[in-house]
Amino acid sequence: MAKLKNIIKQLSDNDYETIYNQLMDSGADKSAYLLKSMRDKSVSDTAVMDELDVNTNAYYTLRSRLNQKIEEYLLQQMENPRTDILKKVANINEVLFTKKRAIAIATLKKLEKELLDYDLASELTIVYKALKKLHINSPDNFNYSQLYNKYVAYTLAVDKAEDLLAEYFKKYGSYILSGEETDKLALTLLNKEMLSTSALYDSHRMYVYKSCINIFHRLFVEQDSEMENDLEPIEDILDNVQKIFESYQLDTIYFHLKIVHEFLTLEYYNHYKVYRKAETYFEEVNEAAENLLTNYSLFTFPSQFLLTKIDRHLRMGLEGEIYEENEALFQDYESNTNDIPQYVIYMTYRSLSCHFAKKHDEAARWINNLLNEVSLKKYPYAQLEVKAVLALQYCIINDYDLFNQLINSIQRQIRILNKETCEHVQILAKMMKISISEAKRDKYDKIKALVDKFNSVPKSGFTPTSLVKMDDEFIRVLAREQ
């Protein structure tokens, strides 16, 4: 919220008036009022909600849409200079055929400088190709031939870096669900390949792309202690990327990648438990969660934010608020069943949100929809976790028939898999069996002992069962004392 107010206050008078008038003309009176209140006066959120006569959920949606409108407007403003440059590149042949040689060379040299500022490698090859032809009878022909070859290679390197980004985060999805060491090795090799590719060029674009993988890899795959000692500190990388974004504010790719940078900064502070600084970034990423999940899987692993969000709300005792927030955050979201890891995490997140809100029937529906939509045979451990979350909902709502069918399936799967890696699921299954048993004696104490044991078992990878809040209330619910 603070960032939105900051942006609004920093808008020029002309930009502010334009946005305000656009909102009024489109009938978005409430958004226009919110814009005006943030620009003109320091009014509390509660006062604005009262004035607009909206609840917290509607207010959350309103400010998110206002933020989106402002971003769209600013993006339109920044696209114009870059569009002009690309138009000039498209008209190079016109320059070659209609202008005198000296004027054509001067025009191309000016265009070269602008393209270098934007780091537009593909367009630079067109410029150098033209300059090479214009200097065919000059010693400079060799120089421009070399520059042409250099930027052809660089264009291919940027394409390769973008492919590596997409491949890395696709592979990470498999790794988080499978926990396989071969997937981890593949991620390490992809990270090294990105580092090697980016090291060939002194390029801010390659540095930004490299940071997307390198930071994520060091936070979630290999800890710094497992890697080389001469690595650039993550905080320095984040600072350098921020400086690049500030230096190239008209770059549309960087404009969109700001949310990835904020997400990585949030995860960095969260990883090292610097929660006060993490909060600075949480709200911005949270408001953009739908966009992050929909459009950024080629540059990061967006679903990790959902796991971070649950962890954060549990830590702050706010887990019951997630359910209502989801109605505003994901009202237009369309999940992609072809991206199985992202889909599994999203659907499980929605189920756990219902569980925290004590809407256990709805929690079960989310998991059932997940299991009906995609096959998890490739990821048996993830499938076991998801089934365990579903069994817990059946246990709580006393649907004994469905619970017994599912718990038998879970126990068969545990026997097939390595029991040591499924120990925490075995313990949860014992809790649930004690809960539904007809014996009423010492249920609370037995379940409490198992909860302590469950919490002591180390867990890694995708383990949504570890996100179930096993407090005194949970124990009493399973012990049938509530």
Q: Residue 480: what pLDDT?
A: 85
Written as one string, the DSSP assignment of 227-267 is S-TTPPPHHHHHHHHHHHHHHTTT-HHHHHHHHHHHHHHHH
Q: What is the C-alpha to C-alpha distance for residues 209 and 211, in angstroms, rounded to an integer?
A: 5
Q: Residue 259: what pLDDT?
A: 94
Neighbours of 178 (CB within 10 A): 19
* Residue 81, CA distances (Å) to 12, 76, 247 in order: 18, 10, 15
Dihedral angle of Cα 459, 462, 464, 469, to the nearest 10 degrees: 40
pLDDT tens across the length of the chain (482 residues):
556 666 777 777 788 888 888 888 888 888 888 888 877 766 667 777 777 787 776 777 787 778 778 877 776 765 555 677 888 898 999 989 999 999 999 999 999 998 888 778 889 999 999 999 999 999 999 999 999 999 999 999 999 999 999 999 999 999 999 989 999 999 999 999 999 999 999 899 999 999 999 999 999 998 766 666 678 999 999 999 999 999 888 788 898 999 999 999 999 999 999 999 999 899 889 988 999 999 999 999 999 999 999 999 999 999 999 999 898 888 878 889 999 999 999 999 999 999 999 999 999 999 999 999 999 999 999 999 999 999 999 999 999 999 999 999 999 999 888 767 789 999 999 999 999 988 777 899 999 999 999 999 988 889 999 999 999 999 999 988 86
Q: Residue 103: what pLDDT?
A: 93
Q: Residue 321: what pLDDT?
A: 92
Q: Residue 78: what pLDDT?
A: 58
Residue 364's nearest CA partner among 338, 399, 408 is: 399
Q: What is the C-alpha to C-alpha distance for residues 475 and 482, in angstroms, rounded to an integer?
A: 10
Q: What is the C-alpha to C-alpha distance for residues 338 and 342, in angstroms, rounded to an integer?
A: 9
Residue 423 near residue 457, CB atoms below 8 Å: yes
Q: What is the C-alpha to C-alpha distance for residues 478 and 445, in angstroms, rounded to an integer?
A: 11
Q: Whole-prediction pTM value?
A: 0.83
